[in-house]
């Protein structure tokens, strides 16, 4: 005799304010996992949209995106600085937009949900949106349906200076805090070229050496992550571990479904 426990978890990442279909993720499952990037700062498809679009306007934001994409970070910063001088208190203006987005997103977030931060998040504002059935995890482990799920949030330092980038040392500490798990959940992928290369942006996103070393050491059944919106490969294998990019929810509007 063996116990057959059928559990379904719907996993999403990179919501980027795709609020209108978010509640549907909670249908037909026992729990939802969300791997971060709730906010839409920059909308590459519609530069008038998102936090930067609403503050800078479509025209200036298009130019800002063009300069950054061309690796002209100093020039991009120069036009931004000029605009901020005109607009007023940068931190306050951004905060207002962030809170407005979070209010709409967290209202639609299905529960129960186990959630961690992406690099396009502002963790300091999350406590005020906490609701019943929502568990925020970072460097922590939770048991779902008899399996151990470990969570590591945030991104690593880049020239893009996205809102939540932490040092390699801090990230390593969160990975070390987990101990062995069955399922590793993070926003960024382990540092493996095929899964960190974005074919539309035509560049490598930052993956994590610490996650890769963890996978080699503990060999969890799965490593789930997001971050790379259009990856060269959305899955790969490291020994016994299946590494899976659960998809860019803003684009796909559907979860990765895990049955066990
Ligand atoms: Mn993202």
**Residue 2 clears pLDDT 60, i.e. is over it:** no
Mean pLDDT to the nearest integer, 84-89: 95
Share the mean pLDDT of the chain.
96
Helix (H, G, I), strand (E, B) or coil at 242: strand
Mean pLDDT to the nearest integer, 44-65: 94
Q: How far is the CA of 121 from the centre of ligand 1 (A)?
A: 9
Mean pLDDT to the nearest integer, 130-158: 97
Q: How far is the CA of 207 from the centre of ligand 1 (A)?
A: 13
pTM for the model: 0.94
Q: How far is the CA of 188 from the centre of ligand 1 (A)?
A: 9
Find residue 113's DSSP bridge partners: 32, 134
Instruction: Give the pLDDT confidence score for residue 4 in this predicted structure.
Output: 63
Q: How far is the CA of 118 from the centre of ligand 1 (A)?
A: 7
Instruction: Give the pLDDT confidence score for residue 141 in this predicted structure.
Output: 98
Provide the greatest CA pair distance for the chain.
71
Q: Give the number of other Cβ atoms within 10 Å of residue 49's Cβ.
A: 16
Q: How far is the CA of 250 from the centre of ligand 1 (A)?
A: 9
**Residue 3 clears pLDDT 90, i.e. is over it:** no
Q: How far is the CA of 1 from the centre of ligand 1 (A)?
A: 44
Detail the DSSP E strand segments found in 88-240.
Answer: 113-115, 134-136, 140-144, 147-152, 155-156, 165-166, 183-186, 197-198, 203-204, 222-225, 235-238
pLDDT band at 5 (very low <50, low <70, confident <90, very high): low
Contacts with 56 (C-beta within 8 Å, 6 or more apart), sequence order? 64, 80, 83
Burial of 245 (0-12, 13-18, 19+ CB in 10 A): buried
- Give the CA distances from residue 208 to residues 33, 109, 260, in Å, rounded to whole numbers and listed in that order: 20, 27, 27
Residue 21 sits at φ, ψ, to 5 deg, of: -115, 10
d(CA 241, CA 50): 36
Instruction: Give the pLDDT confidence score for residue 180 in this predicted structure.
Output: 98
- Please give the CATH topology (third level) of the domain spanning 8-38+113-259: Purple Acid Phosphatase; chain A, domain 2 (3.60.21)
pLDDT digits (tens, 9 = 90+) for 215-228: 999 999 999 999 99
Residue among 121, 105, 135, 114 at smallest CA distance from 165 = 121
CB 230 within 8 A of CB 194: no
Q: How far is the CA of 227 from the centre of ligand 1 (A)?
A: 5
Instruction: Give the pLDDT confidence score for residue 157 in this predicted structure.
Output: 98
Q: Give the number of other Cβ atoms within 10 Å of residue 174's Cβ.
A: 20
d(CA 71, CA 160): 9
pLDDT digits (tens, 9 = 90+) for 105-127: 999 999 999 999 999 999 999 99
Paired tokens of 126: 């999350």
Q: How far is the CA of 114 from the centre of ligand 1 (A)?
A: 18
CB 228 within 8 A of CB 203: no
- Give the CA distances from residue 190 to residues 213, 227, 238, in Å, rounded to whole numbers and listed in that order: 8, 11, 10
Residue among 158, 157, 155 at smallest CA distance from 138 = 155
- For the CA atoms of 236, 212, 172, 120, what is the dihedral angle to 10 degrees? -20
Q: How far is the CA of 211 from the centre of ligand 1 (A)?
A: 18
Q: How far is the CA of 13 from the centre of ligand 1 (A)?
A: 8
Instruction: Give the pLDDT confidence score for residue 168 in this predicted structure.
Output: 98
pLDDT digits (tens, 9 = 90+) for 148-202: 999 999 999 999 899 999 999 999 999 999 999 999 999 999 999 999 999 999 9
């Amino acid at each position: 005799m063996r116990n057959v426990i059928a559990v379904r978890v719907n996993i999403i990442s990179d919501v980027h304010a795709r609020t209108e279909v978010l509640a549907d993720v909670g249908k037909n499952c026992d729990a939802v996992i969300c791997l971060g990037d709730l906010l839409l700062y920059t909308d590459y498809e519609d530069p008038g949209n998102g936090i930067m679009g609403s503050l800078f306007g479509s025209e200036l934001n298009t130019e800002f995106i063009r300069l950054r994409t061309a690796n002209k970070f100093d020039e991009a910063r120069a036009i931004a600085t000029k605009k901020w001088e005109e607009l007023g208190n940068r931190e306050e203006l951004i905060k207002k937009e962030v809170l407005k987005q979070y209010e709409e997103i967290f209202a639609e977030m299905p529960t129960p949900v186990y959630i961690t931060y992406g690099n396009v998040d502002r963790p300091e504002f999350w406590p005020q949106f906490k609701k019943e059935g929502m568990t925020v995890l970072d460097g922590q482990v939770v048991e779902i349906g008899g399996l151990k799920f470990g969570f590591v949030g945030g991104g690593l330092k880049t020239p893009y200076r996205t809102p939540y980038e932490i040092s390699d040392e801090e990230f390593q500490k969160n990975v070390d805090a987990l101990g062995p798990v069955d399922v590793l959940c993070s926003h960024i992928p382990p540092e493996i070229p095929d899964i960190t290369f974005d074919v539309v942006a035509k560049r490598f996103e930052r993956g994590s050496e610490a996650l890769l070393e963890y996978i080699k050491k503990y060999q969890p059944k799965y490593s789930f992550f997001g971050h790379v919106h259009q990856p060269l490969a959305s899955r790969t294998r490291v020994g016994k571990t299946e590494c899976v990019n659960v998809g860019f929810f803003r684009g796909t509007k559907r979860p990765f479904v895990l049955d066990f």
